[in-house]
């Protein structure tokens, strides 16, 4: 694409100034800065999931990005169900991945102080049980 060089994948890995995240993370995040209206709609989630699918098809979004940038953690929000499903279906192992605080997504949801923490927990548990029933959806994990 000629933007940002090959290592930046067309600029997708460049950090957004004053924000601290790259473009891939931005597409993965639920609702930013208390956005209202379209940003909290199902249509918004659907369109962002479509963009992520297209980036994957173009080989600009890689499976390794999911854990490296904590994209499952970023998408763990009721308003970003499609993005969460996209990442967890592509890389179910990310459900057992730890974020920068060394916490699995399900425990990230449990520790949340937000009023939607039960919905986040349910999202993580359902996905975990779908892909890892033998591990009880990562509900019980040893801290390292």
Comparison of pLDDT for 54 and 22, the residue scoring more: 54
Q: Is the pLDDT of residue 1 over 50?
A: no
Pick the closest to residue 131 from 104, 92, 94 (CA basis). 92
Does the model's pTM come out above 0.75? yes
Average model confidence (pLDDT) across the chain: 78
């Amino acid at each position: 694409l000629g933007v940002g060089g090959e290592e930046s994948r067309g600029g997708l890995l460049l950090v957004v100034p004053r924000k601290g995240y790259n473009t891939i993370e931005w597409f993965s995040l639920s609702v930013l800065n208390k956005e209202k209206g379209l940003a909290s709609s199902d249509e918004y989630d659907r369109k962002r999931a479509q963009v992520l699918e297209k980036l994957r098809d173009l080989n600009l979004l890689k499976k390794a990005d999911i854990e490296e940038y904590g994209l499952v953690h970023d998408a763990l929000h009721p308003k970003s169900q499609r993005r969460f499903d996209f990442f967890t279906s592509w890389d179910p192992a990310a459900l057992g991945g730890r974020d920068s605080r060394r916490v699995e997504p399900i425990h990230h949801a449990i520790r949340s102080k937000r009023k939607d923490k039960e919905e986040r927990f349910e999202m993580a548990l359902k996905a975990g049980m779908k892909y890892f029933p033998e591990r009880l959806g990562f509900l019980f994990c040893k801290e390292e």
